[in-house]
Amino acid sequence: MTYSVALAGKGGTGKTTTAGMLVKYLVEKGKTPVLAVDADANANLNEVLGLEAGETLGDAREDMKTGVSPGMTKDIYMEMKLQEAIVESKGFDLIVMGRPEGSGCYCAANTLLTQYLEKLMDNYRYLVVDNEAGMEHISRLTTNNIDVLLVVSDATRRGLQAAHRIVELTEALKLNISKKVVMVNRAKPGQSEALDEALSQYKMDFIGTVPEDSEVQLFDLEGRPTVELPSENEAMKAAYRIFDEIIP
């Protein structure tokens, strides 16, 4: 059975960087194969992983809505497009969900995508989903249980408020999530006491803190894949300690 971890958080908290670190962690620990899914409307997980993005599944939804080639069923077409969207790498593969551009109903296309993604997931031990703040993409992605929801906040009250609302939203949507945890990213020295006080105001399972790191910022600024960060990097080490808590 595939073990799934979905990431969420308000924009700018570093959840995509965290998702890339998690993929790196799983590969290094030999917990492969891994399927990484970029379900964020602002798709850039491929850059963090050092890959060229392939065709998005949003493109497939558009094409299917307007019609497929004569002699090809929608089922066969969607399965073909799903296989074409897979970007392969060492120990993990990547799929970019993309975003529909046109108007109209995507119900039929989304239903087919869900069916084929579920079949595809059977080929992987771990699933990592980089999600946007709303949980809509996760509910579309698969009807399987989500093992861990990792909500990434920054060291701000607004970030923690957003994290709390995301957790509440999953409960309102009645998603099947076994464990929901919150981590604080980019924490600065001297913030521990204030963070503890802020966190005490919300009923969330706080799992750990990743410090602000100049090397991570430099990699991002230069467009270098985060997965190439050295293992002795302090932010990477802190993230790995968090992953040790959520990955069996």
Tell me what the mean pLDDT of segment 2-10 comes to: 91
The Cα 238–Cα 240 span in angstroms is 5
pLDDT per residue as tens digits for the range 78-119: 778 888 889 999 999 998 877 655 555 545 555 655 677 777
- Sheet containing 3-8, strands listed edge to edge, beginning at the edge strand earlier in sequence: 87-88, 92-96, 34-39, 126-131, 3-8, 146-154, 177-187, 206-211
E strand or H helix at 136: helix 136-141
- With a pLDDT cut of 90, the percent of the chain lying above it is 48
Would you place residue 203 in the very low, low, confident or very high pLDDT band (cuts 50, 70, 90)? Answer: confident
Tokens of 44: 């850039």
CATH number at residue 99: 3.40.50.300
Q: Which domain holds residue 169?
A: 3-246
Which range has the worst mean pLDDT, 16-20, 24-28, 49-53? 49-53
Tell me what the mean pLDDT of segment 113-126 comes to: 81
Tell me what the mean pLDDT of segment 29-57 comes to: 89
Tell me what the mean pLDDT of segment 34-40 comes to: 89
**What pLDDT score does 192 carry?**
86
**What pLDDT score does 216 carry?**
96
Would you place residue 143 in the very low, low, confident or very high pLDDT band (cuts 50, 70, 90)? Answer: very low
Tell me what the mean pLDDT of segment 172-193 comes to: 90
Q: How many domains does the chain have?
A: 1
User: Would the pLDDT of 59 be above 60?
Assistant: yes
pTM of the model: 0.89
The top-scoring range by mean pLDDT among 62-71, 129-138, 232-241 is 232-241
Q: Answer with the residue of higher pLDDT: 175 or 218.
A: 218
Tokens of 111: 């239903």
